[in-house]
Amino acid sequence: MRDTTPDGLSRDAAPRVERALRATRLTKRYGDVVAVDGLTFSLVPGTITGLLGPNGAGKTTTLRLVLGLAAPTSGTAAVFGRPYRLLEEPSRRVGALLESDDFDPGRSGRNHLLALTLAAGVDIARVEEVLALVELTDAADRPVGTYSLGMRQRLGLAAALLGDPELLILDEPANGLDPAGVHWLRAFLRAFAQAGRTVLICSHVLAEVAQTVDSILILSRGRLVAERHMEDLPDARTLEALYLSATTDEAA
């Protein structure tokens, strides 16, 4: 578990705070295209961080690298000190909602969660808890193919919460939620972070992010182009100005 130098000595002399997530010079190339370019950032426990950027900036690729779905060309991404693929019982540490609508339309919502719960080794009573939390209990036996976008989004959130994780990674979580749902999600994430846990939200809806996060990272063409605390951005308009200047500079 401890970092060791090549000669096997531990580096306890300089202990580091364990970050929920730490990316170090993370890079992903597809042929000549650099999707993620030397990205370095870390998440402080107890905070909500927004990962912003236009489509194609590398947000989703970054999440796939962090979650072990894709392998970096170079650099590292560590979750609680180790690569995601080496985590024991990852669902108890990390919950993720991806934007890709990952359900079998013929399987019911409850069975989708049950299959994941069985694999995660989590108590199956947890399925009913998360269904109630996202208010899907009544629709749980219907095939997911009959769900609205908002319902699928809530089912994805329920799946992310199955293992009661310490880190939540959400790609466009407000997508398809009605205003009441967005309000509920914001309060939920706020309480989640106040309990000392960590949230990373990917989005390009600036106004929504501005109301939810503690700090932002802005990606453009795979690079980290700005990093700010929300205290330094008094209103949504300042955020928008920063976003536009950060993401359009290089395109000119």
Instruction: Say how far residue 122 (Cα) sits from the centre of its chain.
Output: 21
Point out which span in 38-46, 106-114, 126-134, 186-194 binds other proteins (CB under 8 A): 106-114
Point out which span in 4-12, 45-53, 91-99, 213-221 binds other proteins (CB under 8 A): 91-99
DSSP at 219: E
Choosing from 45, 56, 70, 204, the residue that interacts with other proteins (CB under 8 A) is 70
β-strands 48-52, 215-220: how paired? Answer: parallel
DSSP H or E stretch at residue 171 = strand 167-171
Site string for other proteins, 2-21 (x = CB under 8 A): --------------------
Point out which span in 6-14, 50-58, 80-88, 234-242 binds other proteins (CB under 8 A): 80-88
Choosing from 25, 33, 40, 121, the residue that interacts with other proteins (CB under 8 A) is 121
Distance linking the first and last C-alpha atoms of the chain: 46
Choosing from 29, 93, 107, 186, the residue that interacts with other proteins (CB under 8 A) is 107
34 is a contact residue toward other proteins (CB under 8 A): no
Point out which span in 10-18, 87-95, 201-209, 236-244 binds other proteins (CB under 8 A): 87-95
DSSP H or E stretch at residue 203 = strand 198-203
User: DSSP for 24-91?
Assistant: EEEEEEETTEEEEEEEEEEE-TT-EEEEE--TTSSHHHHHHHHTTSS--SEEEEEETTB-GGG-SSGG
142 is a contact residue toward other proteins (CB under 8 A): no
Least distance from C-beta 96 to other proteins, angstroms? 6
Choosing from 38, 46, 68, 150, the residue that interacts with other proteins (CB under 8 A) is 68
91 is a contact residue toward other proteins (CB under 8 A): yes
Q: Which is nearer to other proteins, 126 or 215 (CB)?
A: 126
Q: Report yes or no: 53 and 125 within 8 Å, Cβ to Cβ.
A: no
Q: Which is nearer to other proteins, 90 or 173 (CB)?
A: 90
Q: Which is nearer to other proteins, 71 or 241 (CB)?
A: 71
Point out which span in 92-100, 178-186, 193-201, 223-231 binds other proteins (CB under 8 A): 92-100
Listed residue (248, 202, 208, 241) closest to 225, CA to CA: 248
236 is a contact residue toward other proteins (CB under 8 A): no
What is the amino acid identity at position 194? Q
98 is a contact residue toward other proteins (CB under 8 A): yes
Q: Report yes or no: 182 and 208 within 8 Å, Cβ to Cβ.
A: yes
Q: Report yes or no: 122 and 163 within 8 Å, Cβ to Cβ.
A: yes
Say which residues have a Cβ less than 8 Å from residue 221's Cβ, sequence separation at least 6. 34, 37, 56, 57, 58, 250
Residues of this chain that interact with other proteins (CB under 8 A) are 64, 67-71, 84-87, 90-91, 94, 96, 98, 100-108, 111-112, 114-116, 118-121, 159
